[in-house]
């Protein structure tokens, strides 16, 4: 079946032009009412289904392009779209539409000694630029979140996903135009590397940059950015099995955290096991992981416990690495203190988990581990805006200002003080 023409107004447009157009659109979007924004999102969800053939055709062309030939299996999986993933995008858009509009929410209200009536309210940030890699669904998730929160968005995906992102961005722009909102509220760049510095320095038009990527992207932006940045960066996540854990639970949690979808930032990269249960737990769990194709590296105590399973030696770099694939580092620790120290030393502040049968070690782990999300007896794979009831997320912030954890609607707002008086002047 022939596809629809892919309409991407930004394909030959410069970074400043896209950003300035988004800035103009942001002023209109900021005052749009909830009903109009929700109508745009409902139309977007419908168009994703109606134009799925166009989207899949564009995605197939990206996958066949020589620029995608050198991608790892995990990155190709992230790039790939199918009908189920398009349907999941539409479900996410509808979930966002159903959420309360954060814009205009009154956070604080009081009368000052001067008689002034003060309100602190949520307002949109303005123009949000998102830099992301292989996953085309980010185009829709991020655009939907920004539309609902009254922000314009400039999207800069990977060049090897250019056709997929173009098809999806065209659908979004058509949906918001159908609702009477400015289509320039969603701008798409080509994905060329030269755009990064321009976007990170567009402080006259862009209010916030959110990069979704690894440490290389983070370093590249830190060197040049003059626009404020929230880093939705790497996920070097851990699962620690305490000495009193239910070992069948530990086996399920660790396996899920690594294997369920290894190419994403909330997948576990390191497994730590208390020495009291290592000999009982590790042979079976390592066998499970190896059977799923996971390459294992570990310390000497792990290797000694690996009956019939190949485990290579782990060095310091292995503990620091976000593999984003089927590889895992495994270590044995003697107590909870060692586990917490290891996690805080090597973790990236994303998601960490403990499996324990007691309340006290769980509380210590959640109190002392420095991460955006900390789990007791659950997989790290749940750190996700959709799973957290946010509809979707722009990314998972591993820093502490101004947002931490999944970046949803409220994290895409700032505050404004609105003050009413009756002629007061300050003496």
CA–CA separation, 223 and 202 (whole Å) = 15
| Per-residue tens of pLDDT for the chain, all 427 residues | 344 344 444 445 799 999 999 999 999 999 999 999 999 999 999 999 999 999 999 999 999 999 888 888 878 888 999 999 999 999 999 999 999 999 999 999 999 999 999 999 999 999 999 999 878 999 999 999 999 999 999 999 999 999 999 999 999 999 999 999 999 999 999 888 889 999 999 999 999 999 987 778 888 898 899 999 998 868 999 999 999 999 999 999 999 999 999 988 999 999 999 999 999 999 999 999 999 999 999 999 999 999 899 999 999 999 999 998 999 999 999 999 999 999 999 999 999 999 999 999 999 999 999 999 999 999 999 999 889 988 888 989 988 888 999 999 999 999 999 999 999 999 9
Answer yes or no: are the C-beta atoms of 41 and 29 closer than 8 Å: no
For strands 396-397 and 405-406, give the pairing. antiparallel
Homologous superfamily in CATH for domain 15-232+394-420: Aldehyde Dehydrogenase; Chain A, domain 1 (3.40.605.10)
Closest CA to 388 of 44, 48, 95, 37: 95
* pLDDT tens, position by position, 104-145: 999 999 999 999 999 999 999 999 999 998 789 999 999 999
- CATH architecture of the region 237-382: 3-Layer(aba) Sandwich (3.40)
CA distances from 115 to 20, 200, 424 (A): 40, 43, 8
CA of residue 173 relative to chain centroid, distance: 22
Q: Is 127 exposed, middle or buried (0-12, 13-18, 19+ CB in 10 A)?
A: buried
Distance (Å, whole) CA 209 – CA 225: 9
How many whole angstroms separate alpha carbon 274 and alpha carbon 239?
11
CA distances from 347 to 20, 320, 372, 414, 423 (A): 38, 7, 11, 29, 55
- Three-state DSSP class for residue 241: strand
User: Which residues does 129 contact at the CB level (< 8 Å), separation at least 6?
Assistant: 19, 153, 154, 155, 156, 199, 202, 206, 208, 209, 210, 227
Reduce the DSSP state of residue 11 to 3 states and report it: coil
pLDDT tens profile 19-28: 999 999 999 9
In the chain, domain spans: 15-232+394-420, 237-382
Of residues 402, 342, 404, the one with CA closest to residue 373: 404
| φ, ψ at 261 (rounded to 5°) | -155, 90
Contacts 24+ apart (CB under 8 A), 215-219: 215/322, 217/131, 217/133
Three-class DSSP category at 373: strand
CB 270 within 8 A of CB 236: yes
pTM of the model: 0.87
Same fold, 15-232+394-420 and 237-382: no
Let me know if 109 is exposed, middle or buried by CB neighbors in 10 A (0-12, 13-18, 19+). Answer: exposed
Q: Is 316 exposed, middle or buried (0-12, 13-18, 19+ CB in 10 A)?
A: exposed
Written as six digits, the tokens of 58 are 């564009």
């Amino acid at each position: 079946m022939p596809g629809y023409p892919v309409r991407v107004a930004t394909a030959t447009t410069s970074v400043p032009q896209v950003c300035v157009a988004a800035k103009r659109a942001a002023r209109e979007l900021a005052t749009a009412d909830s009903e109009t924004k929700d109508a745009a999102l409902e139309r977007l969800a419908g168009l994703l289904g109606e134009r799925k053939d166009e989207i899949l055709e564009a995605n197939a062309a990206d996958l066949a392009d020589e620029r995608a030939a050198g991608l790892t299996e995990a990155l190709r999986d992230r790039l790939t779209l199918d009908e189920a993933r398009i349907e999941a995008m539409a479900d996410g858009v509808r979930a966002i539409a159903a959420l309360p509009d954060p814009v205009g929410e009154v956070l604080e209200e009081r009368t000052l000694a001067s008689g002034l009536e003060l309100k602190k309210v949520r307002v949109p940030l303005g123009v949000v630029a998102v830099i992301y890699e292989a996953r085309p669904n980010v185009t829709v998730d991020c655009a939907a979140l920004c539309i609902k929160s009254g922000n314009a968005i400039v999207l800069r995906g990977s060049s090897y996903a250019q056709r997929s992102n173009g098809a999806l961005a065209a659908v979004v722009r058509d949906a918001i135009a159908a609702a009477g909102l400015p289509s320039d509220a969603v701008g798409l760049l080509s994905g060329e590397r030269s755009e990064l510095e321009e976007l990170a320095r567009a402080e006259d038009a862009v209010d916030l940059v959110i990069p979704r990527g690894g440490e290389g992207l983070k370093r590249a932006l830190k060197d040049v950015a003059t626009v404020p940045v929230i880093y939705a960066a790497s996920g070097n996540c851990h699962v620690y099995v305490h000495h009193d854990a239910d070992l069948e639970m530990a086996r399920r949690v660790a396996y899920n955290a690594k294997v369920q979808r290894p190419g994403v930032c909330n997948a576990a990269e390191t497994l730590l096991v208390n020495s009291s249960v290592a000999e009982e737990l590790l042979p079976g769990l390592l066998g499970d992981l190896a059977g799923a194709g996971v390459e294992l590296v570990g310390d000497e105590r792990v290797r000694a416990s690996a009956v019939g399973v190949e485990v290579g030696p782990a060095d310091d770099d292995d503990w620091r690495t976000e593999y984003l694939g089927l590889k895992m580092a495994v270590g044995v620790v003697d107590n909870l203190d060692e586990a917490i120290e290891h996690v805080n030393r090597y973790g990236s502040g994303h998601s960490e988990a403990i499996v324990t049968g007691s309340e006290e070690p769980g509380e210590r782990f959640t109190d002392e581990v420095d991460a955006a999300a900390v789990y007791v007896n659950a997989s790290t794979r749940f750190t996700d805006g959709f799973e957290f009831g946010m509809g979707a997320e722009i990314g998972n912030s591993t820093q502490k200002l101004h947002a931490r954890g999944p970046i949803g609607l409220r994290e895409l707002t700032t505050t404004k003080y609105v003050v009413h008086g009756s002629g007061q002047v300050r003496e």
